[in-house]
Amino acid sequence: MSFQEMAFSGVTNELIDAHFNAGNPIRFTISTSSMSPLLMPGDQIIVIPTSPETLRAGDLVLVRASGFWLAHRLIGKRIQNRKTRWITKGDNCSLADQIWSTDEMCGIITAVQTSFGCINLRSWWMKTAGRVLVLLSRGEWQMRRMPRNLLRRISARCFRITLQRGAWFVRQTGKEKTA
């Protein structure tokens, strides 16, 4: 990355931070497939700043750390040394991300603008589907942490396939529920 790119990135992050601090929603474009098939590259997400106390397992959140932005599913939280730590994981990722501090949690994703329309992630249906997907995501994560053997491989693969099919189903039904 050149000096000009680093300077531009710093200014951009400062503008985004100012926008969030003012309580305004902001739109980001998805550039990776870590959350596919629910969030596909090219989809746009609407993120609103929120207090960490309102976050629940299953919510899609935006995290900022080390100058990059990450949109992943919140799968859990831990209290370490009287501080809340957050665990996120992409639906298309085998392992959970690093553990995030409260300061790194930027906001909650409330909607996805796709090529076929908008999906409202705050509807009852989408919140419920998110809770089911987080159970599958946690199951896969736990299987990957077990000692390597045939049962672990089969179980982790079953969780992965079910999670992927579930996320695809949520994307398809979301467009029907909000169209």
Provide the CATH number for the domain around residue 19.
2.10.109.10
- The residue among 53, 49, 54, 63 whose CA lies nearest residue 20 is 49
Average pLDDT, the chain: 84
- Taking residues 43-55, what's their average pLDDT? 91
Residue environment code for 6-34, b if the CB has 16+ CB neighbours within 10 A, otherwise e: eeeeeeeeeebeeebeeeeebebebeeeb
pLDDT in tens, 120-165: 999 888 888 888 988 888 888 888 777 888 887 888 888 888 888 8
**Phi-psi region for residue 130, left (φ > 0), alpha (ψ -120 to 50) or beta?**
alpha
pLDDT in tens, 73-123: 999 999 888 899 999 999 988 888 989 999 899 899 999 998 888 999 998
pTM: 0.82
Domain residues for 101?
Answer: 3-178
Name the domain count of the chain.
1
What is the crossing angle of helices 150-178 and 124-145, to 10°? 170
pLDDT in tens, 22-46: 888 999 999 999 999 999 999 999 9
Altogether, the residues listed in the chain come to a count of 179
